[in-house]
Amino acid sequence: MDPKPLWLLAELTYKCPLQCPYCSNPLDFAGPRFKRELSTDEWCRVFREAKALGVLQLGLSGGEPTLRPDLEQLVRTAHGLGLYTSLITSAFRLTRERLAGLKAAGLDHVQISVQGADAELSDEIAGTASYRDKIAAYHYTRELGFPLTVNVVLHRRNLHQVEALIRLAESLGAERIELANTQFYGWALHNRDALMPTKAQLAAAWQVVERERARLGTRLEIVWVLPDYHEQFPKPCMGGWGRAYMTVTPAGEVWPCHAAGRITTLTFENVRDHPLDWIWEHSAAFNRFRGDAWMPEPCRSCPRKTQDFGGCRCQAFLVAGDAGITDPVCSLSPHRHLIDAALADEREPEEWTYRAAPASRALAGRG
């Protein structure tokens, strides 16, 4: 059976008042490729086409999606289509009135990031004083009756706070806390040496997660996104290329995952030029790694290929220079040494580069 997508991540804008060094947005987010943002009508058409194609879950993300003044209208359209709509926001300057308006428009779920468990660390990592706004927005979200996810990206500088972060989410009455170990794409890859956790940090944090899961049960769902560099086998990236998931970027390019745009050997189509169903079914980029016919060894004859689909195509490209080979995270990959070299527990952490437009323009030339 032909796969139909269930998930659409709509990256409404790459503008963002925060500057998280782990941001997965493209390094050249401020460049010409993403400049001409889709209009309200274009997004509404994308949502209609996505629903007709089988999408049920919609994430409104960015950058910072609340910077779009038409967000309410986009939510209203998505809700009218029956999409389960999640707002993924930093909550910077997010008011109660705005959230109430989004609730009235039919928003289903709010996901608010926090960078650390206290103002000092959170604001330092975000590069922008935002912790106070976040805490306020958490409360508004609960008061308005939204289900709430607290989202934290974990790395060397905040892994020691996992327990405090879970307690924070619990005290806020959140439904879920997503503890997402940094995935190394975009700015996170650029800042990899500064963000890379040690084995000991990860082991300690994982112990906390297990203990807290047992204590909290269904009261607070704790999602732990694996630190894949420290694993033996790769993650089943996006549930397989072009199987269930797609991302639409601010200027309308459609990607099989939110990092795929960096694969320079593929050409990605734009919703301005083609209907979404054509892009999903017929575009070269979506078909390139569908199924398992593209797989080389060691994946081709590996029994795990139906579970992990050979891992992440972006990681194969970014780390080993070829999107069409086994994810180098895999211990069976001939390129695993490239991952091991990045682990270096002994190394002193380096300074990071904050994600910001001037740095983006300076780095864009370098790819």
Partner 1 sequence: MSPATAAAVPRLHAKARLQRDEVRGREVLLYPEGLVGLNPTGAEILALCDGVRSLADIVATLERRYDVTGLERDVAAFLDGLAEKGLVLYGP
* Cβ proximity to partner 1, 2 vs 351, nearer residue: 2
What minimum distance in Å lies between the beta carbon of 212 and partner 1?
Answer: 16
CB of residue 354 to ligand SF4, shortest distance in Å: 8
The C-alpha atoms of residue 208 and residue 224 are separated, in whole angstroms, by 11
CB of 207 to ligand SF4, least distance (A): 26
288 binds, among partner 1, ligand SF4, none (CB under 5 to 8 A by kind): none
Output 184 or 280, the one with its CB closest to ligand SF4: 184
User: What token pair was written down for 306?
Assistant: 């139906």
Instruction: Give strand ranges (E) for the chain.
Output: 7-11, 57-61, 84-89, 109-113, 148-154, 176-181, 221-225, 245-248, 254-255
Q: What SS3 class is residue 61?
A: strand
Question: Long-range contacts of range 134-141, CB-CB < 8 Å, 24 or more positions apart?
Answer: 134/90, 134/91, 136/91, 137/89, 137/91, 137/94, 137/99, 137/112, 138/91, 138/112, 138/172, 138/174, 139/172, 140/94, 140/95, 140/96, 140/99, 140/100, 141/99, 141/110, 141/112
CB of 334 vs ligand SF4, minimal distance in Å: 10
Which one, of 217, 261, 277, 265, lies nearest residue 46 by Cα?
A: 277
Place of tokens 């380096």: 350
Q: Which residues does 288 contact at the CB level (< 8 Å), separation at least 6?
A: 241, 266, 294, 323, 324
Q: In 3D, which of 236, 245, 250, 327 has the Cα closest to residue 286?
A: 245
Pick one of ligand SF4, partner 1, none as the site partner of residue 23 (Cβ within 5 to 8 A by kind). ligand SF4
For ligand SF4, the closer of residues 150 and 279 by Cβ is: 150
Q: Which is nearer to ligand SF4, 160 or 304 (CB)?
A: 304
Nearer to ligand SF4 by Cβ, of 191 and 283: the residue is 191
The minimum distance between CB 281 and ligand SF4, in angstroms, equals 25
Nearer to partner 1, 156 or 258 (CB): 258
Nearer to ligand SF4, 135 or 332 (CB): 332
**Partner that binds at residue 136, options partner 1, ligand SF4, none, CB closer than 5 to 8 Å by kind:** none
Q: What is the DSSP string of 164-202?
A: HHHHHHHHHT-SEEEEEEPP-SHHHHHTHHHHPPPHHHH
25 binds, among partner 1, ligand SF4, none (CB under 5 to 8 A by kind): ligand SF4
Shortest distance in whole angstroms from residue 2 CB to partner 1: 11
* Partner from ligand SF4, partner 1, none contacting 253, C-beta within 5 to 8 A by type: none
3-state percent breakdown (helix, strand, coil) of the chain, nearest 5: 40, 15, 45
Contact residues toward ligand SF4 (CB under 6 A) are: 16, 18-20, 23, 25, 62-64, 90, 113, 233-234, 298-299, 302, 304-305, 308, 310-311, 326-327, 330, 332, 355
Partner whose binding site includes residue 365, from ligand SF4, partner 1, none (CB under 5 to 8 Å by kind): none
CA distance 351 to 353: 7
Distances (CA, A) of 288 to 73, 285, 323: 35, 5, 10
User: Closest approach of Cβ 88 to ligand SF4, in Å?
Assistant: 8
Closest distance of CB 113 from ligand SF4, Å: 6
291 binds, among partner 1, ligand SF4, none (CB under 5 to 8 A by kind): none
Binding interface with partner 1 (CB under 8 A) = 4, 6, 52-54, 56-57, 82, 84, 86, 108-109, 111, 145, 147, 149, 175-176, 217-218, 221, 223
Which residue is it, tokens 């002193």?
A: 348
Q: Which of 149, 182 has the CB closer to partner 1?
A: 149
Least distance from partner 1 to the Cβ atom of residue 51, Å? 8
